[in-house]
Chain A
């Protein structure tokens, strides 16, 4: 029966703990990367700043 208990423990580790740990790591990574992605998207802060800079450069050139 000890072997079965050991098997049960290993199964629980594989079925619950490992997937949960990886999910938490991926989720944290997603939340950390989100602001960077957000700023690079069209109309994000980086995009808007770039547009403003090019508009200013055009004005200076005129």
Chain B
């Protein structure tokens, strides 16, 4: 009967420590998500870097080269119409639209169309070239289409639920998991009769959580899994997202190393405590035996 009871208690301790490890992972993951993916400012910093702007611009310039060949209008007329500042403002719009779920199609927005129209009109005027409105419209249409292909997000309606879920629920989920960590720690403490041996279960759950938090991000980074996930239709945005997620992965790995270290320290401290206790008991026993 006692053995069954002990087995049940031990099983409960194991279950509590597994719950604790997954809750630790959950609370760290959602805590990190709330300050990164769920935070508009973090997305701005990820999307608004110079590398993203320059790769968007170079992709746009490549497309403009083809349009220039087709229309006979010099390439720099198109490239001067849309400069880096303008692309940067488009990037801001894209970040905002990730949460709103609206697709950023710049076809109908007047800013892109007007920039190209103005640039073409002034080119024709400066060079005194006679032209037809229909021809200008066609060239502008082609340029705007190319701009959309280079900078406009088409699948925001698919992206928004993920981003909004993390923004709305990440802090709540983090608190829920943190509460679960506390509850399971208290349960382990009481199931072990408030004795120090319960710390071994806490150490075990910390080490499990730490090892999972090291291995999954490490595999993701080493196997370049993120590079295969094309979250948006634009390569430059995908690269920016991947870099941001890689930073999150690195933070997860560092947290994992900290957890594993704390787990090892708990085990060593407990082992030292118990070996001292056993030694003390043996010495006491020896003294008792010699005296009697």
* A-B interface contact total, Cβ < 8 Å: 77
Determine the interface band of chain A, counting residues with CB < 8 A from chain B.
20 to 34
Q: Which B positions have Cβ atoms within 8 angstroms of A?
A: 14, 18, 21, 155, 158-159, 200-201, 203-204, 207-208, 210-212, 215-216, 219, 225, 228-233, 263-264, 267, 270-271, 274-275, 278, 282
- Give the dominant DSSP class at A's interface: helix
CA distance A18 to B21 in the complex (A): 12
A61 to chain B minimum Cβ distance, whole angstroms, is 20
- Of the A-B pairs whose beta carbons lie under 8 Å apart in the complex, a sample of 18, sorted by A's number, is A7-B271, A11-B200, A11-B271, A14-B201, A15-B200, A15-B204, A18-B14, A18-B208, A19-B204, A19-B208, A19-B211, A20-B211, A26-B216, A27-B219, A42-B155, A42-B232, A43-B232, A44-B229
- Give the dominant DSSP class at B's interface: helix
Given A11-B200, A38-B228, A41-B231: A19 and B207 within 8 A (CB)?
yes
CA distance A41 to B216 in the complex (A): 19
CA distance A44 to B271 in the complex (A): 50
Residue A57 CB within 8 A of the other chain: no
Question: Do A43 and B231 touch (CB < 8 A)?
Answer: yes
A36 to chain B minimum Cβ distance, whole angstroms, is 13
CA distance A30 to B225 in the complex (A): 12
Question: Do A41 and B219 touch (CB < 8 A)?
Answer: no
Could you list 20 further interchain pairs (A-B, Cβ under 8 angstroms) beyond the known A4-B274, A26-B216? Answer: A3-B278, A8-B271, A14-B200, A14-B267, A15-B203, A15-B263, A18-B208, A19-B208, A22-B208, A22-B211, A26-B215, A27-B212, A27-B216, A27-B219, A31-B219, A41-B231, A43-B155, A43-B233, A47-B155, A47-B158
